Amino acid sequence: MSLPAIRISGVAKRYGTLQALGGVDLEIGQGEFFGLLGPNGAGKTTLISALSGLVRPDAGSLEIMGHDVVADYRNARRNLGVVPQELVFDPFFSVRELLRMQSGYFGIRNNDDWIDEILASLDLSHKAQANMRALSGGMKRRVLVAQALVHRPPVIVLDEPTAGVDVELRQGLWQFIRKLNRDGHTIVLTTHYLEEAETLCGRIAMLKAGKVVALDTTGNLLRRFATHSLRVRVDQPGAALAAGGRTDAEGWIVFEFDAYAEVEGLLARLREAGAGVRELQLGEPDLERVFVEVMNRA
């Protein structure tokens, strides 16, 4: 088996009495598009900070392309590009200056051809000379992505890259990140947009209170945890509830089932109960439901 892009073994981290990471083991293969999901405070950012060497774990070890992030920090860091969650910049530099400085940090000179290519891919060429403070929030986020790529790292970690970004830009950003993945880059992504994770990620780890509570391919997670649903609006809700339905937040009555063959029987039950179906929707299993279920069970 080839060297994993990321290997995380028994990583634990405490902040005072709070256990941010409680023994995390994860191995992410080269070329994967991997999702790291979890509610606020689950420890995603702490884990990413440990990968980039910003946080020193109390126990365990992390490797990037075989390089230990503590013992072999320089090589580990060279192989990793991180798009952080927070927008922190020196406002007095232009976009190009910032990217040149970042290149210098990795000891790369004359990087302008690559910088131009990244800027073009991120639709930022026209802002190359603009000062950071003159950019909109979405543009700043794209600069963060550019900054993570100046040294052409094989492994790219994005911490909520699309938070507060408009739909058009989000799609553009995903297109670009997908292309990076097709070109062979390993992508690790945290996001609260579960729909995005579902379409993009081949494999997903779910974190809760610093522990991995689910780890599988996206397809398996959907199959294992989520059921299909039939949602109805009826004349006689009482009758539909008595037939085994439950009410959801939007006032629909919901029935869950495993295979479409069951729908006919369900509708027959509703007819016999005299529920009077007025509207009907079929729901596919989605990652949001899986997520809620995993978090409730864990």
Ligand X SMILES: Nc1ncnc2c1ncn2[C@@H]1O[C@H](COP(=O)(O)OP(=O)(O)OP(=O)(O)O)[C@@H](O)[C@H]1O
Q: Which residues bind ligand X (CB under 6 A)?
A: 15, 18, 20, 38, 40-46
Given the complex with ligand X, which of 44 and 142 has the nearer CB atom? 44
The amino acid sitting at 297 is R
Return d(Cα 206, Cα 4) in angstroms, integer: 19
Least CB distance from residue 21 to ligand X, whole Å?
8
CB-side exposure of 205: number of CA atoms within 13 Å? 22
Tokens 């990321």 belong to residue: 6
CB–CB of 116/100 below 8 Å?
no
Task: Give the Å distances, CA to CA, from 101 to 106, 108, 176, 284, 285.
Answer: 9, 9, 23, 48, 46
Given the complex with ligand X, which of 44 and 289 has the nearer CB atom? 44
Least CB distance from residue 45 to ligand X, whole Å?
3
Given the complex with ligand X, which of 37 and 177 has the nearer CB atom? 37
Given the complex with ligand X, which of 140 and 211 has the nearer CB atom? 211
Least CB distance from residue 41 to ligand X, whole Å?
4
Residue nearest ligand X, CB atom distance: 45
Given the complex with ligand X, which of 209 and 254 has the nearer CB atom? 209
Least CB distance from residue 8 to ligand X, whole Å?
14
Least CB distance from residue 43 to ligand X, whole Å?
4
Residue 8's DSSP bridge partners are 26, 62
Return d(Cα 249, Cα 8) in angstroms, integer: 39
